[in-house]
């Protein structure tokens, strides 16, 4: 589905969607140095749209740029306001937001230092990333032959444009074989994350996820699920684990802003549990949607209302 909207925020002002253009010599287009975020706004049960965990997303955007030695020419508060203004200008309720920071045209070559740092915020209406059917009934996943980047070759804690070539290769590889998502191992053979989501397994009531100090991106949805699990007095353990631990898990699910909370029913042709979303997965999925789209106010600090 083609992306459409009325307005895009670009370098400090709202402009018509069709006018948001860059030169073909834009540095980031050639070399991949840039940072972005994926954020969702939901229309809640009372009809009011609220952006979910906006402050945390924008902080991570600034962290990513700091890692890349890119100085954003706006404050965090200004980018937060830009996100709110973009949603309002387009009249959206439910929508996806993509703030992106990139180097414009000017110098070429890897050492270019004088190119202008440019910033845009785009919003569009986008359903769940892995599909509504997958959200309800689970998806099929496959371990990719492409390993997740080592922590000393790429900066894992930055949501950096060029890093996603690694994810694209993994995603395309498994989709060509009939799967919906790729699971990626780190360079030592332990499970890292999916191509665009963090991963959780459940075994005998214990929830296990990969540690934040490894090769994973520190997901904001991951943090949300960990907090919601703790709110329910569920035991959450961060530890390294192998692919065969996924095979014998009772439940497996992936989380991310785009994918939300999506169960996995099969990995590498092995059925997970009984092949349907498990009870803890469904409970955490329900809790998540109660907080983003329902009427839950337990974590009111996660919500930034647009109106």
The single residue listed with the structure tokens 């069709």 is 18
159 in active site: yes
How far apart, in whole angstroms, are the C-alpha atoms of residue 174 and residue 195?
Answer: 10
Of 88, 159, 171, 286, the catalytic one is 159
Q: How many Cβ atoms are within 10 Å of 297's Cβ, its own excluded?
A: 11
Alpha carbon distance, N-terminus to C-terminus of the chain: 28
Residues 100 and 144: beta-carbon distance below 8 Å: no
For every residue of 120-147, DSSP letters joined together read EEEEE----TT-HHHHHH-EEEEE-SSP
Q: What is the DSSP letter of 259?
A: T
Q: How many CB atoms lie within 10 A of CB 177?
A: 10
Q: In the structure, how many helices (H) and strands (E) does the chain have?
A: 8, 17
Q: What angle do CA 127, 50, 46 make, to 5 degrees?
A: 95
**And the tokens for 230?**
């703790």
**Which positions are catalytic?**
159
């Amino acid at each position: 589905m083609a992306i459409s909207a009325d307005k895009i925020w670009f370098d400090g002002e709202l402009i018509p969607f069709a006018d948001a253009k860059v030169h073909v010599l834009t540095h980031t287009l050639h070399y991949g140095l840039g940072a972005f975020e994926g954020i969702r706004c939901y229309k809640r049960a009372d009809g009011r749209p609220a952006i979910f965990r906006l402050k945390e997303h924008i902080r991570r955007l600034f962290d990513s740029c700091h890692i890349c030695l890119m100085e954003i020419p706006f404050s965090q508060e200004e980018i937060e306001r830009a996100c709110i203004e973009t949603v309002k200008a387009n009249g959206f309720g439910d929508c996806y937001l993509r703030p992106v920071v990139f180097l414009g045209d000017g110098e070429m070559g890897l050492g270019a230092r004088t190119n202008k740092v440019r910033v845009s915020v785009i919003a569009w209406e986008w359903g769940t990333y892995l599909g509504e059917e997958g959200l309800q009934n689970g998806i099929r996943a496959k371990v990719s032959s492409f390993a997740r980047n080592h922590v000393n070759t790429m900066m894992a804690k930055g949501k950096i444009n060029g890093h996603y070539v690694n994810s694209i290769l993994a995603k395309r590889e498994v989709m060509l074989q009939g799967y919906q998502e790729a699971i990626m191992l780190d360079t030592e053979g332990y499970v890292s994350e999916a191509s665009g989501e963090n991963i959780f397994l459940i075994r005998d009531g214990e929830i296990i996820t990969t540690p934040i100090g490894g090769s994973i991106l520190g997901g904001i949805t991951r943090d949300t699920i960990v907090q919601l699990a703790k709110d329910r007095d569920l035991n959450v353990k961060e530890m390294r684990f192998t692919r065969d631990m996924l095979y014998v898990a009772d439940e497996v699910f992936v989380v991310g802003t785009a994918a939300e909370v999506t169960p996995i029913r099969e990995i590498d042709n092995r059925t997970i549990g009984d092949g349907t979303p498990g009870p803890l997965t469904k409970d955490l999925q329900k809790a998540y949607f109660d907080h983003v789209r329902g009427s839950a106010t337990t974590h009111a600090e996660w919500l930034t209302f647009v109106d």
